[in-house]
């Protein structure tokens, strides 16, 4: 099977080699061509446009930054829709507004083409560990056709429902992830303030009923010297997902007070010049407010905008 891949960032650069290893012929495109050229050395063909990628593929994946970028590569000039074959399937794995996802899907349906929303729940860490999950919304027959390709990316594949339902669930899951990790940082800071060694506290958390996969690999970042130089998702990127959740909750008339409070902690990270770090740097806000550190303690890793 010929597979297309649009967007060769942190996730795409891991997924494409996996697809090639599974025996698929992959054609990729990225706005910054140098990222495509790096993967070409591993056997990926380079497309000159999203339309060319679509014309050469039966299944086309897309992981880009936001809904505007999805709309551009999907519906714009030389976009996927202009090259997609009648039996082709476009799967958007980006984390975007469910409302925007349905709007883009409608454009495909009106052109008698198929788009599925297929967000991936996980990070580069869980993807490498083969623990990421893929959720699919849209035409069920199309989903069943592409399951073998999806399982080459990750073993946990689920059909959620109609168009936009997978995007809805991804926004909901990300809301929970951020709220959980901000609460973890709050608890860790409280334990530290009460005299518990952070490494002992973290070990106890992982043996407690609150332990979770994300806490297992990301919780380590709150310990001295464990914060990654390259964040899995910095404050700004993670806050994009938070704002998606808040906006979608407003559209649905649903209260979302916990994620609204977590968003204020992310705002505080920006004001302290630490928004470039992985978002669990919110623990430093708690430490500062709790008198565990001073503003001068943050200077070594502050970034001035």
Closest CA to 178 of 264, 98, 287, 101: 264
Domain spans in the chain, listed from the N-terminal domain onward:
2-162, 169-301
Cα distance between residue 37 and residue 46, in whole Å: 7
- Provide the CATH topology of domain 169-301: 1.10.1040
Asked whether 114 and 142 are in contact (CB, 8 A), the reply is yes
Determine the 3-state secondary structure of 39 from DSSP.
Answer: helix
Helix (H) or strand (E) holding 281: none
CATH class of 2-162: alpha beta
Cα distance between residue 290 and residue 190, in whole Å: 8
Determine the 3-state secondary structure of 159 from DSSP.
Answer: strand
Beta strands (DSSP E) in 162-229 are none
Per-residue pLDDT of the chain (305 residues; tens, 9 = 90+): 999 999 999 899 999 999 999 999 999 999 988 889 989 999 999 999 999 999 999 999 999 999 999 999 999 999 999 999 999 999 999 999 999 999 999 999 999 999 999 999 888 888 988 888 999 999 999 999 999 999 999 999 999 999 999 999 999 999 999 999 999 999 999 999 999 999 999 999 999 999 999 999 999 999 999 999 889 899 999 999 999 999 999 999 999 999 999 999 999 999 999 999 999 999 999 999 999 999 999 988 887 54
DSSP annotation of 158? E
């Amino acid at each position: 099977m010929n597979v297309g891949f649009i967007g060769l960032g942190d996730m795409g650069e891991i997924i494409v080699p996996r697809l090639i290893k599974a025996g698929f012929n992959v054609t990729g495109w990225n706005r910054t061509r140098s990222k495509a050229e790096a993967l070409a050395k591993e056997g990926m063909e380079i497309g000159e446009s999203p339309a060319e990628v679509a014309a050469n593929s039966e299944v086309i994946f897309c992981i880009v930054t936001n809904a505007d970028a999805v709309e551009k590569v999907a519906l714009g000039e030389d976009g996927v829709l202009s090259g997609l074959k009648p039996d082709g399937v476009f799967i958007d794995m980006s984390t975007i507004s469910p409302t925007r996802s349905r709007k883009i899907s409608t454009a495909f349906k009106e052109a008698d083409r198929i788009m599925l929303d297929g967000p991936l729940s996980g990070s580069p860490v869980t993807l490498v560990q083969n623990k990421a999950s893929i959720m699919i919304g849209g035409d069920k027959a199309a989903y069943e056709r592409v399951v073998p390709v999806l399982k080459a990316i990750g073993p946990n594949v689920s059909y959620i429902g109609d168009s936009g339902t997978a995007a809805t669930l991804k926004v909901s899951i990300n809301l929970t992830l951020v709220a959980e990790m901000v609460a973890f940082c709050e608890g860790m800071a409280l334990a530290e303030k009460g005299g518990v060694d952070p490494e002992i506290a973290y070990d106890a958390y992982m043996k407690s009923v609150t332990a979770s996969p994300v806490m297992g690999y990301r919780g380590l970042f709150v310990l001295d010297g464990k914060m990654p130089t390259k964040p899995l998702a910095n404050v700004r990127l993670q806050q994009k997902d938070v704002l998606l959740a808040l906006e979608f909750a407003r559209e649905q008339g649903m209260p979302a007070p916990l994620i609204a409070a977590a968003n204020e902690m992310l705002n505080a990270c920006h004001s302290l010049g630490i928004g470039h770090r992985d978002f669990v740097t919110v623990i430093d806000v708690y430490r500062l407010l709790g008198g565990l550190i001073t503003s001068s303690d943050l200077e070594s890793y502050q970034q001035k905008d």
